[in-house]
Amino acid sequence: MTEYSNILVERRGRVGLVTLNRPEALNALNQATMEEVVAAVRAMDTDPGVGAVVITGSSKAFAAGADIKEMAFQGYMDMYAADWFRGWEDFTRLRIPTIAAVSGFALGGGCELAMMCDLIIAGDNAKFGQPEINLGVLPGMGGSQRLTRAVGKAKAMDLILTGRFIGAEEAERSGLVSRVVPAEDVVDEALKAGEIIASKSKPVAMAAKEAVNAAFETGLAQGVLFERRIFHSLFATEDQKEGMAAFTEKRQPEFKHR
C-alpha cells in the first residue's frame, strides 16, 4: 500500500475515494499534493476493482487553490523549466469517471481541479471562484478554458475578472455543478453516484466519458460521427449483449467488464 503525506486514499465498495488532507493550508495544492493525487488516481484508473473515483476535501475547503506560499518566490524560468502544474494534465487523461465532492472553498486551482472531474456534486456551503486576479496572475490549471466552457463567457469573465466567489446555488444555476446537496451529505452522495456508475460496464462508461469530452474538442458533425462510430463498436462487446438480453428478459444486467 503506497504511503501518502497529503492525501488519504480509500476504497469504498467499487469506488476509489481520494481525500485532500492538508488542513493547515485549506488543502492548497502544492506540487507534492499534485504528484500524490495523480499517482493515486492513475493506479485506480487501471484497477479492475474500481469503477469510479471520488475526490474530496474537508468540510471547510475542497481546496483553496494552488499553494501560494510555494509559488510566491518562483521566477519565470522556475515555472517554465518545471512546467508548473503539467502533472494535472495526467489527471485529465484518466479514462475512469471522476466525481468532485465539493464542500466549502473550491478556489483557483481547487475550482480548476473540480472542473477537471467529470461531474461536480456540491454541498450547500460550497464556494467557487477564480480569485487569481487578486494575486496578480490568472488561472493556470485550465480555469479560463474549462470555466468558460462550463458556464459561458459572461459568467466566466465576471468570476475571472472580479475574483468574486459564487455559492452552490449560483454554481448549479450556471451549469458548473450537477447537484447541490446538504453539506454533510456531499461525500455520501458522491459515493452513491460513483457506485451507480461502477455498476455499469466499465469500458462502456469510459467510452461514454470519451464521447462527452469530444463535445469540447470537435465540431458538431465530427462529434456526432465520433459518437456513432463508438456506438457501433459497442456491439462487439459482451456487455451490450448482456444489457440488451437483460432488458428483454426483464432482469437486472450483470455486466462482465466492471
Q: Is 66 a catalytic residue?
A: yes
Phi and psi at residue 12, to the nearest 5°: -120, 105
Choice between 163 and 203, CB closer to ligand CO8 = 163
Q: Which of 16, 52, 65, 132 is catalytic?
A: 132
For 29, 56, 103, 122, 204, the CA distances from 184, given in Å and listed in that order, are 23, 12, 8, 10, 32
Instruction: Name the residue nearer to ligand CO8 (CB basis): 8 or 79.
Output: 79
Q: Which is nearer to ligand CO8, 125 or 201 (CB)?
A: 125
User: Which is catalytic among the residues 66, 106, 168, 208?
Assistant: 66
Q: How far is the CB of 67 from ligand CO8 (least distance, A)?
A: 4
Residue nearest to ligand CO8 according to CB distances in the complex: 140
249 part of the active site: no
Dist CA 85 CA 46 (whole Å): 23
Q: Is 62 in the site for ligand CO8 (CB under 6 A)?
A: no
Site string for ligand CO8, 117-136 (x = CB under 6 A): --------------xx--x-
Q: What is the distance between the alpha carbons of residues 249 and 206, in angstroms, rounded to a whole number?
A: 26
Q: Which is nearer to ligand CO8, 24 or 249 (CB)?
A: 24
Can you name the residues that pair with 203 across neighbouring β-strands?
none
**By the 8 A CB rule, do 197 and 97 touch?**
yes
| Residue 147 contacts residue 156 (beta carbons within 8 Å) | yes
Handedness of CA 22, 18, 93, 190 (dihedral sign): negative
Answer yes or no whether residue 20 interacts with ligand CO8 by CB under 6 A: no
152 is catalytic: no
As a whole number of angstroms, the distance between CA 45 and CA 161 comes to: 36
Which of 174, 191, 204 has the alpha carbon at shortest distance from 121?
191
Determine, following the binding rule CB under 6 A, whether residue 137 of this chain makes contact with ligand CO8: yes
210 is annotated as an active-site residue: no
Q: Which of residues 140-199 bind ligand CO8 (CB under 6 A)?
A: 140
| 69 binds ligand CO8 per the rule CB under 6 A | yes
3-class DSSP state of 171: helix
- Contact between 34 and ligand CO8 by CB under 6 A: the answer reads no
The residues of the shown chain that bind ligand CO8, judged by CB under 6 A, are 25-26, 28, 64-69, 79, 84-85, 105, 107-109, 131-132, 135, 137, 139-140
Q: Which residues are the active-site residues? A: 66, 109, 112, 132
